[in-house]
Amino acid sequence: MGSDLEETQPRERDELGAHVSSAGGVQYAPARAEDIEAAVLQLFTKQPSRWAEPDISPETREAFQSERKRARITSAVVHDSYLINLSSPDPALWERSLRCFTGEVGRAASLGLDFVVSHPGNATDGDLTSGIARNADGVERALTEVKEGPMVLLELTAGSGTSVGGTFENLAAITARLGPGVLPRVGFCFDTCHAYAGGYDLVRDYGGVFQRFGDVLGLDRLRLFHVNDSKGDLGSKRDRHEHIGRGTLGEDPFRRLMRDERFTGVPKILETPKEDDPVVADLANLNLLRSFRE
């Protein structure tokens, strides 16, 4: 009898979650986080491969906020559109990217989301310094327009091609150009797959990687993890995610991360493959991560 009762108890709230579908409307995302026993979620507020900028109606906003409260969601994150490139040297694309990014921040503010995760983009002309300056300008202008709301988290990328965000130093250079009025609203997202593919050896030098992160960016500004294994080898520059423990990172770095007291309260979001059944796939990865604490 006691065992049956224990099985019906809700899982204790923790900092783990996943990217969940917002199909049908963002107001359905909290229930999908519930399905995977998560109090943390990431979602899109628009179709990420289209430029169309939807508005959030008062009814949708109220429905989302009500569902978030009911589902006891502690952290809610939006990932911005894949089309945005605030590092682009093309003036027309940069202006379009700025409008889109500002829209992302505005919708997140309307919904009461905590973070907007953004890939810094690509300096397609090969001029990294100018790309960094353009990215900083875009972030500054968007946060100046949307004066209150979520933090923007610059995400470490895998560093392929002309990527601007593939090193800690790149991210530091972007934030170094931000004014004091917006800098407190900018932090960082650490993607484990991107880091390893970008050459940061979390397998053999976990401690050294985060020592370097702290030295260059500050651990207090690491506000979110994307927790993904990698299909690519160390330094491969391949942004290909794998299930936890099944890729080239293996289980050990994730075990260390889950036991690292510095990051206990930092939200950790899966972007691992969904397979045929997203709920089953996400639960398997989340339960494995939780088991690493034991």
Q: What is the pLDDT of residue 4?
A: 42
Beta strands at 115-118 and 151-155: parallel, antiparallel or unpaired: parallel
Dmax over Cα atoms in the chain, in whole Å?
67
- Reduced to 3 states (helix: H, G, I; strand: E, B; else coil), residue 294 is coil
Q: What is the pLDDT of residue 10?
A: 53
- The structural architecture, per CATH, of the domain 13-291 is Alpha-Beta Barrel (3.20)
Q: What is the pLDDT of residue 7?
A: 45
Tokens of 49: 């491969």
Question: What are the domain boundaries of the chain?
Answer: 13-291
Q: What is the pTM of this model?
A: 0.94
C-alpha to C-alpha distance for 35 and 195, rounded to whole angstroms: 29
In this prediction, the residues of the chain whose per-residue pLDDT falls under 70 are 1-11
Q: What is the pLDDT of residue 8?
A: 44
Q: What is the pLDDT of residue 12?
A: 72
Kindly report, residue by residue over 55-88, the tens digit of the pLDDT: 999 999 999 999 999 999 999 999 999 999 999 9
